[in-house]
């Protein structure tokens, strides 16, 4: 075979985009965040699951929840506020109605988001999910108020957080990634608490507690009064928190908070994230997760990065 013919037959090998999170290998470090990707099946005709790392389901509760009254979403100068109220069909309906199809979708890596208002609520959700094949990881939402302790948010109190994570991690049949609240004084303390209690990974940051008032009516713009702030406006704070958490623990971190493009994803990885989650961007572009995953591959090619995993913690100080 001539030299030219050999070149034609040789396929150029691109960067290795695989990352491993809690023992689960992902084809890409770009993941669709909870609450912005439905139950996954809604995106089957929109993007290729084989080109993204995974997706996180809507938060799943013990029983179905209707969520908060409207208005519950508003746009901000650089993002959005939402108080959906964790509306969902309930864990049993998800397992029976959505998982059969998800198991058939090529490349679909399912991360089930778990929440509850008591520890027992979360444990019951995990019990149901444990019996459902096809789920790779659990993401435990620690940003819910604990009704057994006066409404204090699990993720803002180290004692409550440690108790929740410890019991859930012990029961879970899959690795537990704990989604931390950013509404704390020390994210490093909460990261260490979760890791020490048995968390095998962390995801951060969740939305920031916020409020908006209409000057004309003098009423809150959100029916729930307060809401979670997300979008590019929170990114610099989120990057700082991911960096601080990564300095505090040695478990995988899924970074999120205002990611709109590949450069944003790289920024979070350099701060210490093993993978990233894309949320608010999917409202403007339903294919944002795949587009960012493709963009990250091109970024790696342009910058001669052979393995995307080498970016993690690579910030130069």
pLDDT digits (tens, 9 = 90+) for 185-207: 999 999 999 999 999 999 999 99
Residue 313 in contact with residue 270, Cβ under 8 Å?
Answer: yes
The predicted pLDDT at position 152 comes to: 77
Q: Please confirm, yes or no, whether 122 is among the known catalytic residues.
A: no
CA neighbor of 201 nearest in space, from 156, 142, 117:
142
- Among 113-127, 141-155, 283-297, the minimum mean pLDDT is found in 141-155
pTM of the model: 0.95
The predicted pLDDT at position 230 comes to: 98
Per the structure block, which two tokens stand in for 283?
A: 């409202």
Q: How far is CA 102 from CA 17, 95, 172, 266, 303, in A?
A: 23, 10, 20, 29, 35
Q: Using CA atoms, how far apart are residues 63 and 108, in angstroms rounded to an integer?
A: 25
**Strand pairing partners for 54?**
31
The predicted pLDDT at position 144 comes to: 84
20-311 to CATH, choices 2.60.40.420, 2.40.70.10, 3.20.20.70, 3.40.50.1390: 3.20.20.70
* 185 alpha-carbon distance from chain centroid: 21
**Strand pairing partners for 152?**
146
pLDDT at 5 over 90: no
pLDDT digits (tens, 9 = 90+) for 34-45: 999 999 999 999
The predicted pLDDT at position 149 comes to: 74
pLDDT digits (tens, 9 = 90+) for 206-223: 999 999 999 999 999 999
pLDDT at 153 over 80: yes
C-alpha angle 297-300-303 in degrees, rounded to nearest 5: 150
> Which residues make up each annotated binding site for FMN?
34, 58-59, 113, 141, 179, 205, 231, 257-258, 279-280
- Over residues 61-87, the mean pLDDT reads 96
pLDDT at 1 over 90: no
> Which residues make up each annotated binding site?
34, 58-59, 82-86, 113, 141, 179, 205-207, 231, 257-258, 279-280
- Report the percent of the chain where pLDDT is more than 70: 96
C-alpha angle 14-25-247 in degrees, rounded to nearest 5: 95
Q: Using CA atoms, how far apart are residues 290 and 185, in angstroms rounded to an integer?
A: 34
The predicted pLDDT at position 11 comes to: 46
pLDDT at 289 over 70: yes
pLDDT digits (tens, 9 = 90+) for 219-278: 999 999 999 999 999 999 999 999 999 999 999 999 999 999 999 999 999 999 999 999
Question: Could you tell me the residue ranges of all domains in the chain?
Answer: 20-311
């Amino acid at each position: 075979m001539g030299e030219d013919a050999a070149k034609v037959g040789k396929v150029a090998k691109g960067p290795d985009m695989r990352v491993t999170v809690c023992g689960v290998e992902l084809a890409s470090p770009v993941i669709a965040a909870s609450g912005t990707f439905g139950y996954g099946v809604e995106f089957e005709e929109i993007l290729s699951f084989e080109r993204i790392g995974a997706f996180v389901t809507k938060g799943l509760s013990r029983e179905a929840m209707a969520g908060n009254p409207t208005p519950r979403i508003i746009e901000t100068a650089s993002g959005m506020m939402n108080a959906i109220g964790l509306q969902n069909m309930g864990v049993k309906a998800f397992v029976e109605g959505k998982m059969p199809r998800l198991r058939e979708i090529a490349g679909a890596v399912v991360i089930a988001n778990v929440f509850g208002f008591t520890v027992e609520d979360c444990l019951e959700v995990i019990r149901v999910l444990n019996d459902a094949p096809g789920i790779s990881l659990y993401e435990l939402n620690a940003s819910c108020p604990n009704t057994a302790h006066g409404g204090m948010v699990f993720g803002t109190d180290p004692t409550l957080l440690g108790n929740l994570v410890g019991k859930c991690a012990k029961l879970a049949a899959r690795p537990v990634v704990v989604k931390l609240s950013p509404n704390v004084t020390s994210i490093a303390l909460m990261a260490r608490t979760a890791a020490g209690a048995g968390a095998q990974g962390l995801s951060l940051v969740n939305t920031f507690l916020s409020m908006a008032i209409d000057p004309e009516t003098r009423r809150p713009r959100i029916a729930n009064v307060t809401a979670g702030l997300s979008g590019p406006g929170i990114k610099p704070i989120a990057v700082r928190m991911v960096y601080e958490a990564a300095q505090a623990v040695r478990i995988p971190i899924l970074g999120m908070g205002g990611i709109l493009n590949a450069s944003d994803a790289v920024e979070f990885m350099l701060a210490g994230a093993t993978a990233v989650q894309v949320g608010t961007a999917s409202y403007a572009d339903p294919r944002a997760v795949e587009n960012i995953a493709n963009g990250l591959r091109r970024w790696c090619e342009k910058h001669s990065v052979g393995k995307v995993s080498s970016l993690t913690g690579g910030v130069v100080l």
